[in-house]
Chain A
Amino acid sequence: MGTNTSVVDSKLRFHWRLPEAGETDGAVVTRDRDARDRGRPDLQAQASFCVRAESAGIDSVLVNLQFSVPDPMTLSLALATRTERMRFMVAVRPGLMSPTLLVQQVNTFAVLTGGRICLNMVAGHSPDEMRYYGDSQPHDQRYERMEEFLTVCRAFWQSQEPVDFKGRHYVIEQGRLNTRFVSDRETQPEIYLGGASAGAQEVAARHATVWMRFPDRPGTLRQDIQPVLSRGAAVGLRMSIICRPSRDEALEVIRTLMSSPQIEAKRRSEASFVKKSDSQSVRSVFEMAQDEWLTPSLWSGGAGVLGAPSIALVGSPDEVVAGILEFKEAGISHFIFSGWPKVDEMVRFGESVLPLVRRLEAASAARPTATPGGRKVVYRLD
């Protein structure tokens, strides 16, 4: 990937996770293996979410992949036909299909939607679930395979010539695809790659547009992400947001959330999920959740029950905006948010958080030297 560089006064980019069927009302959904409602696309509710996210100024919606939800590629395309600008961040796991077929699907998606697709590369975090798909790669080889997968994909996107690749996991001979990627912004889809392990970071630094991770205290984060930033990838946070007119009201949301009747079942299913997971980030966040608050506005108390993505910026719009900009100072340039309730939180973000972020970003761009000691962060534009 080319390393066009720019300083950090570029605008932050905000993405939102698409609610699953049955989640749109804000209910707490467990990881229960029999929670079959989640598998059924709820086109009406999900399309309505996307339309509202589009007008709220959300960049893309993340559409997850796992056994309990619909296929994200085809679902995203159906949603894309009902929106105009919104992009779809489609989750992809290397173990499930040939990289050539993935590129063919992505390119077809791009042709049909004017390039409104980006990819969320995930290695998979549950060995049990991976075996549902016939995938039994151990953890360390999953990133080796991810590396090969992305090398093949990017060769298709970057070259007009036939693709040859000989690796341990993939061998491609004289590969061609006549349906090319189409977009007026870029020559290949942006790649958001998640994972905390050294393997994940290495692949992200080499191939990703954005390395996605879970949050931490900004000071710690600033140091942790330096190696990846210095190699030209941007860094994004997968997290939640609980914003209300006042801090007290936001705290009340947490109290309600944590005392909901399903929370005990959710606690059990999450503990069993974490126990079976071999993902380093899932485990380390679960341990981090022993602290209720990482900073006065960064709540981690739900992570043990609601999962790592539930670490949330909590407070009034001003407090949440301050938290976001503090992350930006630390070198973060993307966020993938979710919230409770799923739709209202996103709409509120668009109304009372995003405009303030943009105003402050514009003000700081007009005063480039106003942050003495603020370090210049380099990230990739393409």
Chain B
Amino acid sequence: MRFHWSLSQVGDPFRRAAATRDMSGRIDLQCKIDFCQRAEQCGIDSVLMAIGFTRPDPMLLSVALGKETNTLKFMVACRAGLLSPTMFVQQINTVSSLLNGRVHINMVCGHTPGELRYYGDFLDHDARYERTDEFLTVCRSFWADAGDVDFDGTYYQIKGGRLHTRFSPDPARGPEVYVGGNSGPAAALAAKHAHCWWRLAEPPVRVAASVGVVLDSGCEVGLLVSLIARPTHEEARRAASALIGKFGDDAREVHRRFARGSDSVGFVSTYEAATADQEWLTPYLWTGAVPFLGAPAIALVGSNEEIAQALLDYNRIGVTQFLFTGWPDLDEMTSFSRHVLPRVRELEGRDGDEH
């Protein structure tokens, strides 16, 4: 299994409790550098560099952080509506050259039509997936590094396309492509183009029901989930209660409004489950923070041993990658690498022996 961590709230663990317009777009660079350097020591594969109007640009921030790290990869988020696929490939290839290949891409289709319009993008949910399909088709043609790129689609028309800056270090192998989203179109898009499909955590039975077509295509499945792992189950539960004890009606109202404005299937269904008093979806999968911090706050809560077992349960139904957040991220990640990860590797070895 591979583990990634989101850089989204590093240095500002409760940013999602605030209204988006109040979220800081400033960069606490030193804090992010410290986190990335620690992530390298913790066995984290990559950090997610999210995209959105509340944040600095992920491509440029990755270049700045890449200079301060040696092995960590940067999973740069991209939305098709923002730039020409050729330009995107040129930027990613340049970054790959600057960072010696330490870049993945995380293709997302957007979650809030209102925000997409800030960027001049007015497409509806399903059309965005169609466009992203075309976008990735063009990008992957460039990354195949097999001559001029021609593409005649509804959203993009590329003629004789070529770029002299190729992906580094191996031009014949582009970046690993991650596609995010819980909806049917997202799964189909991932199956067609991605190395790994990101979806929000759900109970293992629900996840198992959705992954077949994706796994059959050879694409991996990864889960977005937060972590609250402590030495004992009771301590983890107490940490979870303490977390939501910090928030009041303001944070709740922020996410009520967000859910109304969102057309993301995963975000909205997770939010609805959380607000329908389904606080524990399984003994470890907890939605209690979602009404205050949003859908990505769905969390695995339990003892280090329980969390390791829970990750293995997901692994048995085909989940091979995880993207975590924590409160605060630095402490949770450090604790994960010391107390959960070694146990996961041990259990993985045992699972491997059985097969």
In the complex, are the beta carbons of A112 and B29 less than 8 A apart?
yes
In the complex, are the beta carbons of B84 and A95 less than 8 A apart?
yes
Per-residue CB proximity of A37-57 to B under 8 Å, as 1/0? 011110100000000000000
Q: Which 9 A-B residue pairs are closest in the complex by CB-CB distance?
A: A39-B164, A178-B25, A179-B25, A97-B83, A173-B117, A39-B165, A175-B118, A71-B94, A131-B159
Q: B residues near A, CB below 8 A? A: 20-21, 23-27, 29, 53-57, 59-61, 63-64, 67, 81-87, 90-91, 93-95, 97-98, 114, 117-122, 138, 149, 156-166, 168
Assess A68 versus B164: contact at CB under 8 Å? Given A108-B61, A176-B118.
yes
Residues in B neighbouring A97, C-beta threshold 8 A: 82-84, 87
A33 to B54, CA, bound (A): 40
Interface residues of chain B: helix, strand, loop or mixed (majority): mixed
Residues in B neighbouring A96, C-beta threshold 8 A: 83-84, 86-87
Least CB distance from B91 to A in Å reads 4
A74 to B21, CA, bound (A): 27
Most buried by A among B64, B157, B168: B64
Query: CB of A105 within 8 A of chain B?
Result: yes
Q: What are 28 sample pairs from A and B whose C-beta atoms fall under 8 A apart?
A: A39-B165, A70-B165, A71-B95, A74-B91, A74-B94, A77-B63, A77-B64, A78-B98, A96-B83, A97-B83, A98-B119, A100-B53, A100-B120, A101-B83, A108-B60, A108-B61, A111-B26, A111-B27, A112-B29, A128-B159, A128-B160, A131-B158, A134-B86, A134-B156, A134-B157, A134-B158, A172-B117, A179-B57
Tell me which residues from 65 to 80 in chain A have a Cβ below 8 Å from any Cβ of chain B: 67-71, 73-75, 77-78
Residues in B neighbouring A95, C-beta threshold 8 A: 84
In the complex, are the beta carbons of B165 and A101 less than 8 A apart?
no
Query: CB of A231 within 8 A of chain B?
Result: no
Assess A172 versus B118: contact at CB under 8 Å? Given A43-B98, A70-B90.
yes
Size range of the chain A interface in the assembly: 35 or more
In the complex, are the beta carbons of A41 and B25 less than 8 A apart?
no
Query: CB of A323 within 8 A of chain B?
Result: no
* Closest A residue by C-beta to B83: A97
Assess A174 versus B117: contact at CB under 8 Å? Given A111-B56, A133-B158, A134-B84.
yes
Residues in B neighbouring A128, C-beta threshold 8 A: 159-160
Partner of A180 from B25, B118, B122 at Cβ < 8 Å:
B25
In the complex, are the beta carbons of A101 and B57 less than 8 A apart?
yes
In the complex, are the beta carbons of A77 and B56 less than 8 A apart?
no
Residues in A neighbouring B118, C-beta threshold 8 A: 100, 162-163, 172-177
A173 to B53, CA, bound (A): 13
* Closest A residue by C-beta to B29: A112
In the complex, are the beta carbons of A175 and B165 less than 8 A apart?
no
Partner of B158 from A74, A98, A132, A171 at Cβ < 8 Å:
A132
Least CB distance from A37 to B in Å reads 8
Residues in A neighbouring B164, C-beta threshold 8 A: 35-36, 38-40, 67-69
